[in-house]
Every structure is written in structure tokens, then in C-alpha cells.
Amino acid sequence: MDIKMLQKMIAAGGTTAQRLLASGMNVNALRTNATLRKDEWKHYDTAAIKVAQRRLVGVADLMSRGLTYQLANGLGTTVLEYEDMSDVNEAQLSLDAVSRGQSDAVEFDMNYLPLPITHADFDISIRKLNASRTTGQPLDTIMIEAKAEKIAEKLETILFTGSDTFTFGGGTIYGYTDFPHRNTGSLSANWDATAATGATILADVVAMKQASINDRHYGPWVLYIPTAYETILDEDYVSGYPKTIRQRLLEVGGISDIKVVDLLTANNVLLVEMDSKTVRMVEGLPLTTVEWQTQGNMVFNFKLMTISVPQLRADQDNRCGIQHWT
């Protein structure tokens, strides 16, 4: 039997693993129309993506700025290998460029980033699916919306607080507040304390910006604050001043936005450079729903999954564009 014919047979009716292997780990092999019709798939996908996007804050900031790295075959890759490089010598200045410049001995270090799948499962019985079709009512999306929300929360948690040191293949997944090479500092006062004023908050942000510049990271930046600080920034910068603290902070050069992050614990403030040399999302699989049958094909199982992992970076001198002050 021809190998291609065998692959087609497996893809059409084999186990979940067989269908993936036969398709070269193409997730669409688990999205056939045998169970769900085309419009039903679209109905589920639209609901999942809409809810997930609504819950994403930090991840959405990276994606909207193009700070992503796309993998060609995310399901077939468990670890991303990447290199960092030592600094090189300055350019030379001469009239004829004949004089030989100083040679470099650049050092490269290999690094690794695990690529786990973030997923959530649900199922539909054949009776519920048939009832939806016979009554003409669309499938209830409450379950897939709840699962999409949980996945979005997990992605945000990993980006901001890490993944409880998920380690695999020689690498570890870190977030903004546990990345070993982030820059840390102390706020002059908790911003929700009576000692904090518009001037002291501004001084803290300017100091964070200067610390980033000192590490050769020049912005632009996004300022992330915990929920407890949201209304503080809505107060007047000073009494009688026609601007709020938030408006005054956004006048600081290079600060492009201020975002409230529910996942940040009290008195934690982040200033993050929006540049790929500081952070990017490695994307191996967009948010996707796949399906298989169990219980004698009486129950249809669905898995909502994605491969989306933050990659936080510093150079070989540990210079980093992440400021974490408490």
C-alpha cells in the first residue's frame, strides 16, 4: 500500500495521536467536519477568541506591537533554542578605512525556552448536539467561553508572575516579577499610602525610567500597576492642578501607556520596555479547538489549546529592560 494512502486512511479514522502524526502534527487534522459543521466550528472559535482577547492585557500589549516570534511547527517543537551574544567593539574612524580595526572575539551562549501547551477541556453529548441542530438554535458557548477565559488568565499569570518555575529541556519559563535578570528597586512610599503624593509617584516613575536607560534600554515603556493603585492615579496631581496623576505620568517621555493588572499583588509596579530584545511572545499554536470521540462515539470531547510562551531576555552582561519596584 502506498504510504500516502495509508496516511490518508489514518488521518480519516485513526486515534487522535495517529491523526496528528499522519498529518505532520497539523492540528487541523483534529478539526474535521465529521462531528461539527463548518458554521459550528466558526461559532465556537469566534466565542473563544473574543473572550480570550477581552481578558488579555500584557499579552495583548506584546501582540499589538508585533513583539512575537512565530514557530512553523509548534506542536512538533517542545523547546526553543536561541543564542545571546556578547557586545562588540566600537566602530573605527579613519580617513581611508585602510587601517585594520580591532578584531572581536564574540561569545555566543545557547539558551532554551520550554514550549508547553496551555489547554482546557470540555465535552458535548450527542443528544445535546442533535438538539441544537433540530431546534435550529446555535450551540451554547458558555462552556468554551469559560475555558477561554481560564486560558487567558493562565497566559497573563505566566507573563506577569511566572509559571511556578516550569522547567524543561534545560530552560525555565519566567515572568516579569520573577525573571532573575530584571532590575529591582524600592518605591519611595506605597502609592496608596498617605505619604505618597503626585510628586513622589512621578519621582518613582522617572527613577525607574532612568534605571532602564542606565541598562541601555531606551523605551518605549508601558507602566503596569496593581488594581489598588488604579483610582490613586485618577486623583489630582496637586490640589488645583488641572491634570490627574495619570495624565502627568503619561507626559514622561517614552511612556506610551499605563495599564492596570489584576494579577499584580499590592505595591508591585512594573516598567517594561516594549522591544523584542526585552520581551516577546513565542507562538507555536494560536488558540484552537480540537475534537475527538469517546464512550462509543456518544460523547464529543473538545480541547481548547494554545502554545504561547513569554520569552524574557537580557544580554550577557545581564542588562535588562524590565523594572520591578516594590
CB atoms within 10 A of CB 79: 12
Residue numbers of the chain with a pLDDT score lower than 70: 1-55, 84-108, 123-144, 292-299
Average pLDDT score, the chain: 77
pLDDT of residue 110: 79
pLDDT of residue 75: 74
Determine the 3-state secondary structure of 304 from DSSP.
strand
The residues facing 124 across adjacent strands are: 300
183-277 classified as CATH 1.10.357.10: no
- Phi/psi region, residue 315 (left: phi>0; alpha: psi -120 to 50; beta: rest), is beta
pLDDT of residue 203: 94
Q: d(Cα 11, Cα 6) in Å, to the nearest integer?
A: 9
Cell of 43: 461559532
- Phi/psi region, residue 129 (left: phi>0; alpha: psi -120 to 50; beta: rest), is alpha
Per-residue pLDDT tens digits for 27-68: 555 555 455 555 554 555 565 555 545 557 898 899 889 999
- Where do the CATH 3.30.2320.10 domains begin and end in the chain? 183-277
- Where do the CATH 3.30.2400.20 domains begin and end in the chain? 16-82+111-174+279-311
Cell of 145: 467561553
Q: d(Cα 95, Cα 129) in Å, to the nearest integer?
A: 78
Q: Residue 157 gets which letter from DSSP?
A: H
pLDDT of residue 5: 35
Q: d(Cα 237, Cα 294) in Å, to the nearest integer?
A: 61
Cis bond before residue 138 (omega within 30° of 0): no
Rounded to an integer, what is the distance from CA 173 to the centroid of its chain?
Answer: 11
Residue 62: closest CA among 268, 296, 322, 300: 322
Q: d(Cα 172, Cα 205) in Å, to the nearest integer?
A: 30
Q: 16-82+111-174+279-311, what's its fold?
A: Major capsid protein gp5 fold (3.30.2400)
**206 within 8 A of 252, measured Cβ to Cβ:** yes
Cell of 73: 511547527
Per-residue pLDDT tens digits for 299-322: 677 777 788 899 999 888 899 999
Burial letters 33-43, b for 16+ CB under 10 A, else e: eebbeeebbeb
Q: d(Cα 282, Cα 284) in Å, to the nearest integer?
A: 7
Residue 318: closest CA among 34, 17, 86: 86
Only one residue has cell 516570534, namely 69
